[in-house]
Amino acid sequence: MISVCPLVPMVPESKRAAANGGRVPLAVRDKQRTTSAFTGTYDEGEICKLLAMLSSRMALRRLQRIAVAPLSFTSGATTKVLRDMSTLPRVYVTRQIPPEGLKILQDSGQVQFELWDSDDVPVPRKELLQKVKGVDGLLCVLTEKIDAELLDAAGSNLKVISTMSVGFDHLSLEELKKRGIRVGYTPEVLTDAVAELTVALLLATSRRLIEATHEAKTGGWGTWRTLWLCGYELANSTVGILGLGRIGVAIAERLAPFKVNKFIYADVGPRPELAKAINAEYVTLDELAKQSDFLLVCCALTPETKEICNKNLFSKMKNTSIFINTSRGGVVNQEDLYEALSTGQIAGAGLDVTVPEPLPTSHPLFTLKNCVILPHIASASYSTRNAMSALAANNLLLGLRRQPMIKELKLTLCSDSAFLHFDRTSADARVRCGGREVGRPLFISYPPLSLRSRGPARLEEEEEAS
């Protein structure tokens, strides 16, 4: 594990500092080593240069912890600097996030942060509960469950959580609202990467590329056959999108050059602005299932969308249809999907998300040739992951400074009589409290409806630009 704290000078003896005319003896150590990296006497300007050089070296050495601990000091200016550094907000980072985000935190000089130094293994729950004690901010990823237990362990100092994800089903939003904790997240920056991967998964599934690769490798490639490994093409097809938002539009824009005949979509209501961009037609969920040659799931996971793709939906699909999910695994009933695939109710499925993750290798879906499963890599491009990391870091810093985040979830508490009005779509639906529009619901319901909240609170997402 690596811990990174603000760099401060070590002064063995205050008398020696005064005798050197304000020049400070320094001993800079790597905490995991016994030898000093730098020793000597430095004035205040030289200290700043040394700190900058060491910051750069830390990035190159994967942010190994280099600590320079203070003893005592007589110079008033430097003493003030050290005192300010020692009171910086404490932050815990639950994963070795991509370097752009770490660099922002490190170069900011605004926080002291500790890092779980692994990208392969999540921080153990027990250690996470220990490390968050007393922190002011938390930068997490979607593998960490941020619930009442963790928030209790963190204590009252915790004011900001920044998640490096566009989804937030791993966050207990009601607990966060109750405690007044602000939440940043990372939408939009991954739209292109997810759209590209969705198209790749669709083609791999519909044209049976994984099967074909296996046959070529294992000797199945024999004489040419008229219908061997035939699949389904996009030309003249109908593509259905469940949940039309930025990602759905981006996918459609990439599919259009394949000569798709028609785009249709289902949501809580028509989305004319977005639909116009791709010339898509609004239909009911049942019609989406019946008409689609390719059905792409792009909706959020909420209590209302949990397992919305189930036996009822699959039974209405064509036996030549391809089902693709790059949203969240929880929107699909995997047992029903297995039955639909194994019985030929639908032709194939491509999944980038499952329940659980990782999906056990013994799961029945892995036994099917017509099911392509990827390990949740839709946003896995270098540029996108670095952009997500940078956005998460900036959200955290802005939140700790009590400034508006670049992308923040607005958690709005409504009374029992809050009227939930869905005037257009999952992304544009509005919630009204006492006649006042307060935000956008975090769920999708089918068909379009208006209803009254039955719980003590509704938690809303901040308005975003499309």
Q: Domain boundaries in the chain?
A: 2-184, 191-373
Decide: helix, strand or coil at residue 21: coil
Average pLDDT over residues 190-214: 97
> Would you say residue 192 has pLDDT above 80?
yes
Average pLDDT over residues 14-39: 47
Backbone angles phi, psi at 441, to 5 degrees: -70, 155
The pTM assigned to this predicted structure is: 0.71
Same fold, 2-184 and 191-373: yes
> Would you say residue 44 has pLDDT above 60?
no
What amino acid is encoded at 6 in this protein?
Answer: P
Size of the chain, expressed as the number of residues it contains: 466
Tens digit of each residue's pLDDT (9 = 90 or more) over 303-314: 889 999 999 999
Spatial contact of 397 and 108, defined as CB atoms under 8 Å apart = yes
> Would you say residue 31 has pLDDT above 70?
no
450 or 432: which leads in pLDDT? 432
Burial class (CB in 10 A: 0-12, 13-18, 19+), 346: buried
Distance CA 395, CA 406 (A): 6
Residues whose CB falls within 8 Å of the CB of residue 223, separated by 6 or more in sequence, listed in order: none
Residues with a catalytic annotation lie at: 376
Dihedral sign from CA coordinates of 330, 331, 336, 338:
negative
> In whole angstroms, how far apart are CA 222 and each of 210, 229, 288?
17, 12, 39
Strands 436-441, 408-409: pairing kind: unpaired
Distance CA 89, CA 74 (A): 25
Tens digit of each residue's pLDDT (9 = 90 or more) over 46-105: 554 454 444 434 433 332 222 222 223 234 443 444 446 668 999 999 999 999 999 999
151 or 7: which leads in pLDDT? 151
Mutual angle of helices 191-206 and 382-400, in 10-degree steps: 150
Note the pLDDT of residue 422.
29
> Would you say residue 193 has pLDDT above 70?
yes
In what side-by-side order are the strands of the sheet with 24-30? 36-42, 24-30, 66-67
Tens digit of each residue's pLDDT (9 = 90 or more) over 378-417: 999 999 999 999 999 999 999 999 999 999 998 865 433 2
Protein fold of 191-373: Rossmann fold (3.40.50)
Spatial contact of 295 and 324, defined as CB atoms under 8 Å apart = yes
Average pLDDT over residues 153-173: 95
Note the pLDDT of residue 411.
85
Distance CA 166, CA 160 (A): 17
Average pLDDT over residues 106-133: 95
Note the pLDDT of residue 37.
43
Note the pLDDT of residue 121.
92
SS3 content of the chain, % helix, strand, coil (to 5): 35, 20, 45
Tens digit of each residue's pLDDT (9 = 90 or more) over 128-146: 999 999 999 999 999 999 9
The CATH number of domain 2-184, selected from 3.40.50.720, 3.20.20.70, 3.30.360.10, 3.30.499.10: 3.40.50.720
- Name residue, tokens 């006649």: 435
Average pLDDT over residues 426-451: 33
Burial class (CB in 10 A: 0-12, 13-18, 19+), 80: exposed
Average pLDDT over residues 419-441: 33
Reported as half-sphere exposure (CB side, CA atoms, 13 A), residue 414 has a value of 25
User: Sorting pLDDT into bands at 50, 70 and 90, what band is 449?
Assistant: very low
DSSP string, 23-63: -EEEEEEETT-SSEEEEEEE-HHHHHHHHHHHHHHHHHTTT
Note the pLDDT of residue 230.
98
> Would you say residue 431 has pLDDT above 80?
no
Structure tokens at 305: 């969308």
Cα–Cα nearest to 306, from 374, 376, 355:
355
332 or 457: which leads in pLDDT? 332
Note the pLDDT of residue 40.
55
115 or 459: which leads in pLDDT? 115
Dihedral sign from CA coordinates of 119, 359, 125, 460:
positive
Tens digit of each residue's pLDDT (9 = 90 or more) over 254-293: 999 999 999 999 999 999 999 999 999 999 999 999 999 9
Structure tokens at 205: 């599934």
User: To the nearest whole percent, how much of the chain has pLDDT over 70?
Assistant: 70
Decide: helix, strand or coil at residue 421: strand
> Would you say residue 451 has pLDDT above 70?
no
Type and span of the H or E element at 83: helix 76-86
Spatial contact of 415 and 382, defined as CB atoms under 8 Å apart = no
Structure tokens at 260: 């798709």
Structure tokens at 255: 């599919």
Distance CA 51, CA 58 (A): 10
What is the 3-class SS of 231-286, one letter each residue? CCCCCCCEEEEECCCHHHHHHHHHHHHHCCCEEEEECCCCCHHHHHHHCEEECCHH
Type and span of the H or E element at 288: helix 285-291
User: To the nearest whole percent, how much of the chain has pLDDT over 90?
Assistant: 67
Backbone angles phi, psi at 383, to 5 degrees: -65, -40
Please give the distance of CA 258 from its chain centroid, rounded to a whole number: 30
User: Sorting pLDDT into bands at 50, 70 and 90, what band is 462?
Assistant: very low
Note the pLDDT of residue 111.
96
Per-chain mean pLDDT for the chain: 79
Mutual angle of helices 44-60 and 99-108, in 10-degree steps: 170
Cα–Cα nearest to 300, from 147, 440, 98:
440
